[in-house]
């Protein structure tokens, strides 16, 4: 999943090979966050610390992280009452200049009713996204939520990079 998302974000363009990402010259910081809340928060805090160091040293150290993608989550998770470390950590990322993009679940349900992390986290520095098709219609297998989901973006049938120096014709994720 991460290789495919990285290709969408930053595959080199205008080189006659494969596909082109949204930003041809972006630098990516790939972190393996694990699955527990503590592991995810640790990865988020590393990103925070690198941006904070960059800010404090006028760019001499650290990393100029402007956005973080969280294509992970906890289906039907509760960001306020159960997984309480997510919102404050997202706010800390925002405090140093990092915007977080979080994907909804790959299930057809209302996250406002059933929950989802990070989609239902209330941080002002998190944008929740659902999956749309080429006609900008919500994909049936994508979650939604009038209160929590901020926007939809094309994700169905996206051509992107794939492990093993290949390209996958049908990547359909949020």
Q: What is the DSSP letter of 110?
A: B
- The candidate with the shortest Cα–Cα distance to 64, out of 95, 27, 23, is 27
116-146: pLDDT as tens digits: 999 999 999 999 999 998 899 999 999 999 9
Q: Is the dihedral of CA 25, 14, 70, 87 positive or negative?
A: positive
Q: What is the DSSP letter of 136?
A: S
Residue 150 or residue 165, greater confidence: 150
46-59: pLDDT as tens digits: 999 999 999 999 99
- Cis omega (within 30 of 0) for bond into 65: no
- The candidate with the shortest Cα–Cα distance to 76, out of 118, 122, 116, 110, is 116
């Amino acid at each position: 999943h991460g290789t495919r998302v990285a290709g969408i974000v930053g595959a080199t363009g205008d080189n006659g090979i494969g596909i082109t990402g949204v930003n041809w010259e972006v630098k990516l910081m790939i972190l393996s966050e694990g699955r527990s809340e503590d592991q995810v928060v640790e990865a988020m805090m590393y990103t925070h610390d690198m941006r904070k160091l960059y800010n404090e040293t006028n760019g001499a150290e650290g990393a100029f992280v402007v956005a973080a993608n969280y294509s992970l989550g906890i289906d039907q998770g509760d960001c306020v009452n159960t997984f309480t470390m997510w919102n404050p950590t997202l706010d800390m990322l925002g405090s140093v200049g990092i915007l977080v993009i979080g994907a909804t679940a790959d299930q057809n349900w209302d996250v406002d009713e059933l929950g989802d992390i990070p989609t239902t986290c209330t941080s002002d520095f998190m944008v929740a996204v659902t999956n749309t098709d080429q006609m900008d219609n919500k994909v049936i297998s994508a979650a939604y939520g009038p209160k929590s989901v901020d926007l939809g973006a094309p994700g169905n049938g996206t051509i992107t990079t794939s492990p093993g120096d290949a390209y996958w014709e049908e990547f359909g994720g949020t």
